[in-house]
A and B are shown apart, each in its own frame.
Chain A
Amino acid sequence: MTIEISLQVNGVSHKFAVSPTETLVDLLRRRLGLTGTNKDCGMGICGACTVMLDGLPVSSCILLASQADGAAVTTIEAIERDGRLSPVQEAFLRHGASQCGYCTPGFIITASALLAENPHPSRDEIVEALKGNLCRCTGYKRIVEAVESVARQGGPT
């Protein structure tokens, strides 16, 4: 059986016929070619597949596509604006907050959602917001510093 769903992805409206068990991450990667969203643990633990659903970070690996029906999805591909990196992305570069890069899209989505809601989070608030994203290369110091530098400037936009 298939379900008809409509959703917005990065500002563009789409209609899909999905199976009840198809996940959002598979829809994004396979049908839309948006491979910036990474698939890793498949258990909602690591955060590599984080996207925003109506502005809130979610694990797209354990979210069924049907659950995104009627919602607006934002992936890493839409974080840059007019071909320019966002302040969070710039800060990750400047602080060397990315090494292998696999976790980076998830961190950037999570940090961008935090800063959209709270443009000047404290260090503790940043650590709290990022605690569910796992990095196995750099450690977290540079990542937190990168987000802190944007928080001091005043938000992601």
Chain B
Amino acid sequence: MTDCRFTRAASLGEAVDCLQQAGGEAHLLAGGIALGILMNEKLLEPSWLIDLSRLEDLKGIRLNPDGSLRIGAMTTHREIERSAEIAGAYPMLIEMAREIACGRIKNRGTIGGNICLADPQGDPPVAMIALRATLRAVGPSGPRDIAATAFFTDLYTTALTKDELLHEIQVPAQADHTGAAFGKFSARRAMDYSSTVSAAVRLVRDAVSGRISDIGIGIGGAGLIPIWAQATEAALRDNRPDGDALAAMREALMEEIEPIGDDLYSADYKRHVASVILRRTLERAYARAAAVGGADKP
């Protein structure tokens, strides 16, 4: 076993300094879930661990007066799942947190760690794509904002440079008549990794016409990265989610996803599941937009 350095960062600046010194050879210790798994599987032998646990600036949930939401990168899934502020303003994020692994993992795992792992099966990445969140990174030259839709660049690869870390997630205030939902398919209700396909949908429903005026869709478990389903969004925009629009949605989705078959489920099966999960999640988001905004009001 090679010797591993360990630094418990006392400030964000110190963490960034360490990353810079390490030149890409350090690993950040947040919840440690993926890190622990990769080390046990002998897929990773870290030479320098930078512990972020003492950085209070990376923690916490704040609902701003304008309705936008700030989630520190080190906020645990448990804290999100139990946040009254999030439950009131962003119920889709509660659904998302419920779907993550199980309590034991949610007690330690962080939303920032999950997003930075960029696992295509991950739940938070697709939720943040649908919500059009901004991911604020911090590096040697200060903060840098990256759109969640541009964050996931390749398998387990993000837009972060090797000396940047994720500071916080900023979710914009949602327009009137917005509905959002998170849906996931898995054969077993928990701890089922390979078979999961997920959909996150946020939409604005025109109160008069019932048409979808704005929409965000993220699809998980259907390719090498958490997918921003842009063409699928376009197929639904300015339409009501019925007959023709749903057919166009399905067609667009089939072009945008590239699921990987595994021991349990073929790629074709996952394609089918993705279209079903997306339709169901869309229907829930659409119904919520009516309930929230009141479709009968001007």
Residue numbers of A with Cβ under 8 A of B are: 1, 3, 19-21, 23, 42-47, 50, 53, 56-59, 61-64, 66-67, 110, 129, 131-134
Binds A, one of B11-19, B103-111, B269-277: B103-111
Complex: A133 Cα to B69 Cα, angstroms? 33
B103 and A21 within 8 A (CB): no
Q: Contact between B1 and A64 (Cβ–Cβ < 8 Å)?
A: no
Query: Of the candidates A21, A56, A129, A134, which one forms a contact with B4 in the assembled complex, judged by CB atoms under 8 Å apart?
Result: A21
Residues of B within 8 A of A (CB): 1, 3-6, 8, 29, 32-33, 35-37, 39-41, 45-46, 49, 51, 53, 78, 101-105, 107-108, 189-191, 193
A3 touches B103 (CB 8 A): no
What residues on A are CB-neighbors of B190 within 8 Å?
131-132
Instruction: Given the known inter-chain contacts A21-B39, A110-B104, please indicate yes or no for A63 contacting B1, CB distance below 8 A.
Output: no
Which residues of the other chain, A, contact B102 by a CB distance below 8 angstroms?
Answer: 47, 131-133
Would you call A44 and B105 a contact (CB within 8 A)? yes
Q: Within 8 Å CB of A59, what residues of B?
A: 36, 104-105, 108
Assuming A44-B37, A47-B104, A62-B40, is B4 touching A19 (CB within 8 A)?
A: yes
Shortest C-beta distance, B74 to chain A (Å), equals: 12
A1 near B103 with CB under 8 A, answer no
Expressed in whole angstroms, the Cα–Cα distance for A20 and B45 within the complex equals 11
Chain B residues contacting A132 (CB-CB under 8 Å) are 101-105, 190-191
User: B32–A67 contact, CB under 8 A?
Assistant: yes
- Known A131-B190, A132-B101, A134-B191; contact A58-B36, beta-carbon cutoff 8 A: no
- Known contacts being A67-B53, A131-B190, is A20 close to B36, with CB within 8 Å? no
Least CB distance, B100 to chain A, in whole angstroms: 10
With A43-B37, A43-B41, A58-B104 given, name 17 new contacts (CB 8 A): A1-B5, A19-B1, A20-B5, A20-B6, A44-B33, A45-B191, A57-B103, A59-B104, A62-B35, A66-B6, A67-B53, A110-B103, A129-B103, A131-B190, A132-B101, A132-B103, A132-B105
Contact of A62 (CB < 8 Å), options: B5, B37, B45: B37
Report Cα–Cα, A34/B46, bound state, in Å: 27
Interchain nearest-CB distance for B3 vs A (Å): 6
Nearest B residue (CB) for A131: B190
Q: Assuming A67-B29, A134-B191, is B104 touching A57 (CB within 8 A)?
A: yes
Chain A residues whose CB sits within 8 angstroms of the CB of B37 once the complex forms: 42-44, 62
Q: Which of B4, B49, B191 contacts A131 (CB 8 A)?
A: B191
Q: In whole Å, how far is A75's beta carbon from the nearest beta carbon of chain B?
A: 14
Bound CA–CA A37/B189 (angstroms) = 25
Chain A residues, CB < 8 A from B6? 1, 3, 20, 66
By a CB distance below 8 angstroms, the chain B residues around A23 are: 36, 40
In the complex, chain A residues whose CB is within 8 Å of the CB of B3: 1
Question: In the assembled complex, which residues on chain A have CB atoms less than 8 Å from the CB atom of B39?
Answer: 21
Contacts of B103 in A (CB 8 A): 57, 110, 129, 132
